[in-house]
Amino acid sequence: MIEATASGALLRVLNVGVRFGGIVALDDVSFDVPSGSIVGLIGPNGAGKTTLFNCLSRLYQCGSGDIVFDGSSLLSVPRHRVAVIGIGRTFQNLALFRTMTVLENIMVGRHCRTHSGFFVNALRLPAVAREEHATHDSARALLRLLDLESLAGTRVAELPLGTQKRVELARALASEPKLLLLDEPASGLNHEEVGALGKLICDIRERLALTVLLVEHHMSLVMSISDRVVALNFGRKIAEGTPAEVQQHPELLQAYLGSTG
Amino acid sequence: MSRRSLAGFAILLLLACALPFMVSEYRSFQFTLVLVYAIALLGLNILTGYNGQISLGHGAFYAIGAYCAAILMDKYGVPYWATIPVAGAVCLAAGFLFGLPALRLEGLYLALATFALGVSLPQLLKYHHLEEWTGGVQGITIQKPDAPAFFAEFGLALDQDQWLYLFTLAVAVVMFVLGWNLLRGRIGRAMVAIRDNHVAAEAMGVNNALIKSLAFGVSAMYTGIAGALGAIAVQFVAPDSFNFFLSITLLVGIVIGGLASIPGALYGALFIQFVPNIADEISKAAPWAIFGLFLIGFVYLMPAGVAGAVRMAVARLGRKRQNT
């Protein structure tokens, strides 16, 4: 099934299966995410999209198969090392640090790129002050990139949903990921915001040389920005290809519309 | 930090240094205990306020620190000042080791596990095979240290209470500066991130297990250092001084003072040192009922603790000044 192609694949999902008790959440799913591309992952509720994302973040253990990131298996990487090797993510229902300010949230995003420990922090050695300064500067740069500068000192809990989503994106970018996982970034946004989000994703992909894997229900967004689309239903891959190809796929039409023709 | 707040701290520190020369010996002793509690509360606040791990057993670490100091001084003739780092190191190790299995527990379950520690330790201290060191139920009496001779040579004759206050103040200042540094940087942010959302924290590369168990260790270290200083100040340790009530008192202190607040540790310490005395003066028959009223009053009027109320008052003052 899997061609030995894709020398340029940053992420390879290989025959991944996940079961929860008797329920098959993912069944033998395989696809590649080529380096530098935007891949959309679609499917009805319960299709297994978020399960797959959680496997990529190591929140769930794969029952079978393998996930290869940047040439080596992800399955032996502990959870807190996933960001270090270059996978950043946002969450479906927002997972910000609610008591912190916008700036502090983004600074936590730099955690995996900084190293100072308990002892040197307590003593505030010059190296710590330097590192802290650099963290501050790069967080500020991301605030500018995502148009959040005026909100740096605001607590995230006080912000509207759309803005919180931008903060979460900035926090994910702070870890300098190679692969960015976006879990339903458009949910809860209005029509205009969705349009702006599409542009933003394309823009940061260009600027930061990112590869993006996107789970999204919003079809027009997925179809307009994705280079490739993978469709899941009941834990199985039912279609894969360019947006135009996938849109015509009979099984996908059936999954979404329930039509038999 | 701004120049103005730095100047504010300098003035506050000068006042704190001058305090024992303005009040009675007994008051000096009481303020020494305030500083001791402040260190302990900062320790508990690192764990519970900043990292979100509830402890109902920090009295145990206070006791370990106190016994470290007492045993070292009484049995081995170690000078009082040298017992402080030892007590800190022992409690750091004890806290870290207790924090490892505690990683599997959250919220109320962790509270129960720490409760178990808090209630069992006083009885373990009475264990008769340990009596040789701990003195059993009798406890250990220790000598109050004199001020170093060179103060007298400079014409500054300090009595024991004044000296002990200043010594404790020096330790407290060091511990507060270290704590402030720790909490305002990368590690402090990681601790708060775990409290706010542990899944997201780990996705940002925070090693939750390591940070949580080290937070436990550091927290216990602070409380243990406070215990050692407290033992030296009180000149006596016995198992029943460190009962479960002490653990609850510490928890009361951080909540009243202000969770996740560094100055809150000092406010909380003032509360747990002086409010029971005030309650006792108001009613000899039912001081704890009066204490309870104080507690409810504080929680009702200052839901974010004294530190939260102070923050709000300062912000309101700043706004008024801008308007005029």
**Rounded percentage of chain A residues whose pLDDT exceeds 70:** 95
At A63-93, the pLDDT tens digits run 999 999 999 999 999 999 999 999 999 998 8
Whether A2 has a pLDDT exceeding 80, the answer reads no
**Rounded percentage of chain B residues whose pLDDT exceeds 70:** 99
Mean pLDDT of chain A: 92
Dihedral (Cα; B29, B35, B39, B42), 10-degree rounding: 140
**Rounded percentage of chain B residues whose pLDDT exceeds 90:** 83
Give yes or no for a contact between B149 and B130, defined as CB atoms under 8 angstroms apart: no
Pairing mode of beta strands A228-233, A211-215? unpaired
Grouping H, G, I as helix, E, B as strand and the rest as coil, residue B99 is helix
Whether B122 has a pLDDT exceeding 80, the answer reads yes
At B194-209, the pLDDT tens digits run 999 999 999 999 999 9
A-facing residues of B in 277-316 (CB < 8 A) are: none
Sequence ranges of the domains in chain A = 7-86+177-261, 99-174
Mean pLDDT of chain B: 94
For residue A150, the model assigns a pLDDT of 96
Give yes or no for a contact between B38 and B247, defined as CB atoms under 8 angstroms apart: no
B183-195 burial code (b ≥16 CB/10 A, e <16): bebbbbbbbbbbb
A4 band by pLDDT with thresholds 50, 70 and 90:
very low
Give yes or no for a contact between B204 and A111, defined as CB atoms under 8 angstroms apart: yes
For residue A260, the model assigns a pLDDT of 52
B-facing residues of A in 80-99 (CB < 8 A) are: 80-84, 88-89, 91, 95-99
- A contact test, residue of B186, B191, B195 with most A CBs within 10 A: B186
At A192-222, the pLDDT tens digits run 889 999 999 999 999 999 999 999 988 899 9
- A contact test, residue of B92, B184, B204 with most A CBs within 10 A: B204
For residue A45, the model assigns a pLDDT of 85
For residue B319, the model assigns a pLDDT of 87
Residues of chain B positioned with their CB less than 8 A from the CB of A79: 202-203
Q: Is A19 on the interface with B (CB under 8 A)?
A: no
Residues of chain A positioned with their CB less than 8 A from the CB of B196: 96-100
Of A79, A88, A114, the CB nearest to B186: A114
Residues of chain B positioned with their CB less than 8 A from the CB of A116: 185-187
Of the candidates A210, A158, A218, the one whose C-alpha atom is nearest the C-alpha of residue A185 is A218
For residue A100, the model assigns a pLDDT of 97
Top-level class of domain B25-323: mainly alpha
Asked if A132's CB is within 8 angstroms of B185's CB, the reply is yes
A137-169 burial code (b ≥16 CB/10 A, e <16): ebbbebbebbebeebeeebbeebeebbbbbbbb
For residue A254, the model assigns a pLDDT of 81
- Among the listed ranges A103-117, A149-163, A245-259, which one has the minimum average pLDDT value? A245-259
**What pairs with residue A229 in β-bridges?**
A40, A241
Whether A5 has a pLDDT exceeding 50, the answer reads no
Residues of chain A positioned with their CB less than 8 A from the CB of B199: 59, 91, 95
Whether B18 has a pLDDT exceeding 60, the answer reads yes
Give yes or no for a contact between B63 and B119, defined as CB atoms under 8 angstroms apart: no
Give yes or no for a contact between B216 and B47, defined as CB atoms under 8 angstroms apart: yes
ipTM, 2 dp: 0.92
Please give the CATH topology (third level) of the domain spanning A7-86+177-261. Rossmann fold (3.40.50)
Q: Is B193 on the interface with A (CB under 8 A)?
A: yes
Residues of chain A positioned with their CB less than 8 A from the CB of B260: 99
B1 band by pLDDT with thresholds 50, 70 and 90:
low
Give the start-end residues of each E strand in A130-227.
Answer: 179-183, 211-215
Residue B62, burial from CB neighbour count under 10 angstroms (0-12, 13-18, 19+): buried
Of the candidates B309, B298, B301, the one whose C-alpha atom is nearest the C-alpha of residue B253 is B298
Give the start-end residues of each E strand in chain A.
Answer: 9-20, 23-34, 38-42, 64-69, 72-73, 87-89, 179-183, 211-215, 228-233, 236-241
Give the strands of the sheet with A179-183, arranged side by side.
Answer: A87-89, A179-183, A211-215, A38-42, A228-233, A236-241
Mean pLDDT, rounded, for A231-255: 89
A1 band by pLDDT with thresholds 50, 70 and 90:
very low
Residue with tokens 């994910």: A172
- B contact test, residue of A77, A80, A120, A171 with most B CBs within 10 A: A80
Contacts of A35 (CB under 8 A, 6+ apart): A8, A9, A10, A211
Asked if B193's CB is within 8 angstroms of A124's CB, the reply is no
Considering only CA atoms, give the Rg of chain A: 19
**What pairs with residue B141 in β-bridges?**
B236
Of the candidates B41, B45, B39, B37, the one whose C-alpha atom is nearest the C-alpha of residue B191 is B45
Whether B159 has a pLDDT exceeding 80, the answer reads yes
Give the strands of the sheet with A9-20, arranged side by side.
Answer: A23-34, A9-20, A64-69, A72-73
At A177-195, the pLDDT tens digits run 999 999 999 988 888 889 9
**Min Cα separation A34/chain B (Å):** 23
For residue A261, the model assigns a pLDDT of 44
Mean pLDDT, rounded, for A136-156: 96
